[in-house]
């Protein structure tokens, strides 16, 4: 690995680690920067994967528009240690669940965001906050 690539990787890692710290504490003070926190966006979709992991849980789901085009979304929550306190478990979501997602999404239009809350197939609502 040449020095330029090493430096590039170092920056990526540093930023990633920065996010690890930033999100848990932000939750108490309002997120800023990456996502538009002014209002959540509502989406109906199908869960494709739920990763229960540090530094943040990741929820993968597909959203189909009127023309049948599928967008692959990923939204994050706080890490497992925090979400356990909020009543979640690693089995809270499973592949194939039809859900309604409310998330603060990227301002640049990328299909990524931060979960506010999610409504499960049985109508039960799980808050991420």
**Binding residues for another protein (CB under 8 A):** 12-22, 24-29, 32-35, 53-56, 58, 74-76, 79-82, 84-85, 106-108, 110-112
Give the span between the Cα atoms of 8 and 48, in whole angstroms.
31
Minimum distance between the CB of residue 5 and another protein, rounded to whole angstroms?
14
DSSP three-state, residue 15: helix
DSSP three-state, residue 21: helix
**Cβ nearer to another protein, comparing 112 with 119:** 112
- Main-chain phi, psi angles of 68, to 5 degrees: 90, 5
Minimum distance between the CB of residue 123 and another protein, rounded to whole angstroms?
26
**Cβ nearer to another protein, comparing 41 with 106:** 106
Minimum distance between the CB of residue 45 and another protein, rounded to whole angstroms?
16
Nearest CA to 50 out of 118, 125, 129, 124 is that of 118
**Cβ nearer to another protein, comparing 19 with 46:** 19
Minimum distance between the CB of residue 95 and another protein, rounded to whole angstroms?
17
The alpha-helical segments, DSSP class H, found in the chain are 3-26, 80-85
């Amino acid at each position: 690995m040449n020095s330029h690539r090493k430096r590039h990787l170092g920056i990526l890692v540093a930023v990633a680690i920065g996010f690890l710290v930033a999100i848990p504490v932000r939750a108490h003070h309002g997120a800023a920067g990456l996502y538009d926190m002014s209002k959540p966006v509502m989406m109906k979709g199908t869960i494709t994967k739920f990763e229960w992991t540090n530094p943040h849980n990741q929820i993968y789901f597909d959203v189909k528009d009127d023309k049948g085009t599928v967008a692959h979304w990923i939204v994050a929550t706080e890490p497992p240690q925090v979400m356990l306190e909020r009543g979640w478990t690693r089995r809270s979501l499973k592949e194939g669940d039809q859900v309604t997602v409310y998330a603060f999404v990227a301002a640049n239009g990328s299909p990524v965001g931060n979960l506010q809350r999610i409504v499960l197939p049985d109508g039960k609502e799980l808050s991420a906050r």
